[in-house]
Amino acid sequence: MTEPQHQERFRVTLECLTREIDALRNEEAAIGAYREGRPPSNLFLTLAFTALLGDRLIRLIRIFEDEKATTSFWYLYRSAPRRMKNLNLERLQAFSGKLRTVRNFIFVHLGKKGTFDPVALWDAAGITDSEMAHAVETVRRALYDLSVEEFGKASVLFSDSDAPCSYRPDFDSLKRRIKKNITRLSATNP
């Protein structure tokens, strides 16, 4: 690959992963809000929650898969290690390894050992909510810093009409707003 092609691939990957990590963070907030609240009586919300769990997993894999043939966070890191600062690489690599276990035996391939009890395999991989949150927030900061350095600003996934001045609210604020919206939606009658 020529230098201009490599640079373009790097930039496209950075832009895509910055959007993916924002979407993943939003899903994490929605999942947290759903779990903290009263179970909604709205069937659509219950189905949407289940869909978010699968979507979250595929986004985690897209971002953290550590294979040479993929353009994940690790591709960006291998391409510009000096531009990525304050990363606990051992912890992030361990997290990526745990995701590989889940990916290979449950989500993508439905391996014989994972087909009968996928929850047990997820638990056996040892991925905790706090470990996932740490990996997402750490890589999110690195991608934002790199985006600002590369493009002069970070990509915006969506604007928030409830808080137009802040399209990247803190996680707890985002979760509170989602919880409020879930309550509102759950209370509506068709």
| Distance (Å, whole) CA 67 – CA 96 | 10
Residue 98 maps to a domain? no
Nearest to 12 by CA among 137, 142, 135, 147: 147
Residue 52 maps to a domain? yes
In the numeric block, the tokens 């979407």 are attached to: 23
- The whole-model pTM stands at 0.81
| Distance (Å, whole) CA 172 – CA 152 | 27
pLDDT at 2: 79
* Total domain count, the chain: 1
pLDDT at 119: 61
With vertex at residue 177, the alpha carbon angle to CA 172 and CA 180, rounded to the nearest 5 degrees, is 125
Percent of the chain at pLDDT exceeding 70: 81
Span 132-165, pLDDT tens digits: 899 999 999 999 999 999 999 876 655 444 444 4
Domain that holds residue 172: 3-86+133-187
